[in-house]
């Protein structure tokens, strides 16, 4: 019985290491990019299950590599921070070498999967990995680390579009910019929890550099830009009412999360970070995809 449970327990530990549940942020936008490529290109490309499966595998492998590498690189700081000391590596649940090996395996699987998609995806796979892995270093030298994280996740819609078409286009890029500014904005909110710790360890973040009040202003500005890109995409794509309902909901939740978090009250950061943004991503993507599919009928 223990032999059966052991692989399952190990699997769960690695899912926890990479916070697999947080895939909910970028994955819905990958589905938007994929659906755009199939429905918004004048019938040039058709839906193919194998491409969808490969796109999903790329998302899983790239994100798993990025998160595991982040945990590996930050293990010293995670162990010193009371909020993160329970994470798998500082808690001794997963060894640093195991996390690094997990990172390397996922990088190889990601590159190998792109090889079976098209030349554009394969060529850009090295750039994509460089971006998502580089993020883990940025807190050591720049407060703009939140934007680098945003760039990493913003690759999901354009990457999915490239998987189908092999070319760039304005509309999926607009969704990528919406993701970039959205993620950077909510990552600043999340980083408020570690403002004092980051300062004490000479780590860089917008809250550590500007303080909680000004950091929230920067986050708000980024979310205004995200809403602007969502509107621009809606106009550019000539979407129907379903899209605009989803866009309104998305923007409403951006406002809501800023009402939850105050400079002197961070008790609801968890709700603002995970719940609000996860729901916003799923609902907006569902409405966008439904809009695209209805328009294609």
pLDDT of residue 59: 94
**Distance from C-alpha of 192 to C-alpha of 218, rounded to nearest angstrom:** 12
Residues 158-214: tens digit of each pLDDT: 999 999 999 999 999 999 999 999 999 999 999 999 999 999 999 999 999 999 999
For 270, the token pair is: 């968890």
Alpha-helix residue ranges (DSSP H) falling in the chain: 2-17, 27-39, 49-73, 75-80, 96-115, 119-138, 145-165, 170-191, 195-200, 206-210, 212-236, 241-260, 269-270, 277-296
The more confident residue out of 30 and 15 is 30
**Distance from C-alpha of 16 to C-alpha of 26, rounded to nearest angstrom:** 18
- In the block, tokens 């193919």 appear at 48
pLDDT of residue 45: 77
**Distance from C-alpha of 40 to C-alpha of 58, rounded to nearest angstrom:** 22
**Distance from C-alpha of 29 to C-alpha of 26, rounded to nearest angstrom:** 5
Whether the predicted pLDDT of 273 surpasses 90 = no
- Closest residue by Cα to residue 186 from 81, 268, 113: 268
**Distance from C-alpha of 53 to C-alpha of 38, rounded to nearest angstrom:** 15
- In the block, tokens 């995200």 appear at 226
Instruction: Enter the CATH code of domain 23-296.
Output: 1.10.357.140
**Distance from C-alpha of 36 to C-alpha of 42, rounded to nearest angstrom:** 11
pLDDT of residue 2: 41
pLDDT of residue 1: 36
Whether the predicted pLDDT of 296 surpasses 60 = yes
pLDDT of residue 272: 81
**pLDDT band with cut points at 50, 70 and 90 for residue 15:** confident
pLDDT of residue 18: 82
Under DSSP, the state recorded for 162 is: H
Please tell me the total number of residues recorded for the chain in this structure: 297
Under DSSP, the state recorded for 265 is: B
pTM (2 decimals)? Answer: 0.94
Residues 149-168: tens digit of each pLDDT: 999 999 999 999 999 999 99
- Closest residue by Cα to residue 99 from 137, 75, 69, 64: 69
Give yes or no for a contact between 79 and 146, defined as CB atoms under 8 angstroms apart. Answer: no
Whether the predicted pLDDT of 109 surpasses 80 = yes
Percent over 70 (pLDDT), the chain? 98
Give yes or no for a contact between 30 and 157, defined as CB atoms under 8 angstroms apart. Answer: yes
Whether the predicted pLDDT of 262 surpasses 70 = yes
Residues 111-140: tens digit of each pLDDT: 999 999 999 999 999 999 999 999 999 999
């Amino acid at each position: 019985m223990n032999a059966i449970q052991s692989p399952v327990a190990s699997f769960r530990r690695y899912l926890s290491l990479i916070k697999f549940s947080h895939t909910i942020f970028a994955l819905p936008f990958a589905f938007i990019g994929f659906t755009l490529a199939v429905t918004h290109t004048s019938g040039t490309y058709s839906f193919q299950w194998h491409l969808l499966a490969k796109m999903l595998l790329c998302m899983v492998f790239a994100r798993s590599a990025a998160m595991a590498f982040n945990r590996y690189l930050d293990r010293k700081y995670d162990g010193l921070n009371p909020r993160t000391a329970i994470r798998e590596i500082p808690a001794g649940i997963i060894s640093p070498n195991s996390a690094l090996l997990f990172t390397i395996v996922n990088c190889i699987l990601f590159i190998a999967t792109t090889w079976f998609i098209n030349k554009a995806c394969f060529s850009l796979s090295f750039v994509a990995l460089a971006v998502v892995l580089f993020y883990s270093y940025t807190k050591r030298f720049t407060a703009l680390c939140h934007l680098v994280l945003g760039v990493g996740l913003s690759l999901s819609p354009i990457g999915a579009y490239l998987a189908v078409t092999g070319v760039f286009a304005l509309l999926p890029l607009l969704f990528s910019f919406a993701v970039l500014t959205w993620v950077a904005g909510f990552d600043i909110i999340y980083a408020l929890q570690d403002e004092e710790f980051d300062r004490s360890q000479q780590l860089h973040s917008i809250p550590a550099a500007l303080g909680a009040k000004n950091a929230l202003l920067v986050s708000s500005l980024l979310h205004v830009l995200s809403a602007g890109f969502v509107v621009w995409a809606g106009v550019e794509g000539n979407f129907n009412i379903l899209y605009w309902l989803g866009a309104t909901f998305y923007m409403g939740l951006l406002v809501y999360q800023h009402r939850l978090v105050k400079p002197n009250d961070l008790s609801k950061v968890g709700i603002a970070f995970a719940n609000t943004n996860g729901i916003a991503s799923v609902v907006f993507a569902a409405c966008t995809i439904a809009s695209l599919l209805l328009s294609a009928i």
